Amino acid sequence: MNVRNRAVKIIAAVAAAVIICVTGLTGCGGASTAAAGGSDAPDISGLTYSSTMKLDYAKCFDVYYYKGGYALIDVHNDTEYLVIPKGKKKPAKLDKDIVVIKKPVKNIYLAATSTMALFNSMGALDRIRLTELKASGWFVPAAKKAMQDGRIIYAGKYSAPDYEKLLDEKCGLAIESTMIYHSPDVKDMIEDIGIPVFVDRSSYETHPLGRAEWIKLYGVLTDREDAAVKFFDKQKKVVEKLKNFKNTGKTVAFFYVSTDGKAVVRSSSDYIPTMIKIAGGKYIFSDLKNKNGKTSVPMSMEKFYDEAKNADYIVYNGSIDSTVRSVADLKAKDDIFAGFKAVKNNNCWVTGSSLYQRTDIVGSLIQDFHNLLTEKNPHNLKYIRKLE
């Protein structure tokens, strides 16, 4: 590929990233080639549509099945992927913009770390061979053990992967988060060496069960669909037990403090505020959005104080910043915390470091939030700990 063509591809990738950020303001849109639903399935020359995957909460993708074992994955506002079964051929007139993924999908390079728990939950950890984290960076016990045993190996960060290692290990697919759009030349290079790139957008789901439901998509790629559905239904059952619970009206501020001294909170439509609502509480920021479409919203400490000082509970995001282990640590971040209602009432909590990686604990985390909001002295919490 000459320099001019590579430059054109990089510019196009950057433009795509901008579009994703803009559309993220309202969550995931509909399918790019057709609306969700059987009769509106994308028309692929040479293939016959058979059915559409049933989704309960996920809004950011659809999966369409075609006769012969083919499946089209439509990641909304992004890319379409045609999954081709072993021994079958690529349709002759397939749209050039559709990415082809051939089965069996194995020796995966996993750079979207939040998906590791989903692979493990459906018994597909053996499909992953390479990752962007070293063993010490994993909070998924099975992933850490697999790396210690040499079954999964480190292949460099998403922004600087070891291309030779990807080739030597016969990598069949690279699974990236949307961070890859900040390094479009890397995505371009991985594709240039013949490895398809799948970009995970599960973090754009507004419902926590929507994020967990992405396991069904990965079940299609790994032939673990039955196990994926079984896992998801179990999570759904735990969450839906709280469906008719009357909201307590108690408010929660969920945040962390960045290195530049800003309070970083979640947009009001993010899955964390939804978890709090399902659990019986109210996110302190009722209508907060990020102009850039991101789920995290930084604000000055003064503004954070003005809007969150009367929150009934403070829950510090320990998955991003693990330095806060006590109320004293919290106050050390900024003296302003001494004036918060939750600090005065000793109602300060912190999540475990594993929160972001553990997409398999949706039900348990919501139950933790529920117990926090409804019990006088919450105990036996699995993923939230009180700051003393």
* Strand ranges (E), 244-387: 251-257, 263-266, 282-283, 296-299, 313-316, 348-351, 384-386
| pLDDT for position 296 | 85
Are 297 and 267 in contact by the 8 Å Cβ rule? The answer is: yes
The tens-digit pLDDT sequence of the chain (388 residues) is 443 344 444 444 444 444 443 344 345 754 434 433 445 799 999 999 999 999 999 999 999 999 999 999 999 999 999 999 999 999 999 999 999 999 999 999 999 998 999 999 999 999 999 999 999 999 889 999 999 999 999 999 999 999 999 999 999 999 999 999 999 999 999 999 999 999 999 988 889 899 999 999 999 999 999 999 999 999 998 888 888 888 999 999 999 999 999 999 999 988 889 999 999 999 999 888 776 667 789 999 999 999 999 999 999 998 888 899 999 999 999 999 999 999 999 999 999 876 667 778 788 889 899 999 999 888 888 889 999 9
Distance between CA 346 and CA 202 in Å, rounded?
Answer: 34
| pLDDT for position 71 | 98
Q: Quick one: 229 and 318 in the same domain? A: no
| pLDDT for position 56 | 96
Q: Quick one: 232 and 193 in the same domain? A: yes
| pLDDT for position 239 | 86
77 to 62, 159, 200: CA distances (angstroms): 12, 22, 12
CATH number at residue 127: 3.40.50.1980
Are 279 and 242 in contact by the 8 Å Cβ rule? The answer is: yes
Q: Quick one: 119 and 168 in the same domain? A: yes
Q: Quick one: 224 and 131 in the same domain? A: yes
| pLDDT for position 21 | 39
Q: Quick one: 176 and 273 in the same domain? A: no
Question: In angstroms, what is the C-alpha Rg of the chain?
Answer: 22
| pLDDT for position 29 | 55
Distance between CA 17 and CA 11 in Å, rounded?
Answer: 10
Domain count, the chain: 2
Query: pTM of the full predicted structure?
Result: 0.80
| pLDDT for position 11 | 42
Q: Quick one: 73 and 86 in the same domain? A: yes
Of 238, 255, 279, the one marking the end of a domain is 238
Q: Are strands 263-266 and 197-199 parallel, antiparallel or unpaired?
A: unpaired
Q: Quick one: 90 and 182 in the same domain? A: yes
Of 204, 238, 272, the one marking the end of a domain is 238
| pLDDT for position 283 | 96
- Where in the sequence is the domain holding 210, given as residue range(s)? 3-238
Q: Quick one: 249 and 233 in the same domain? A: no
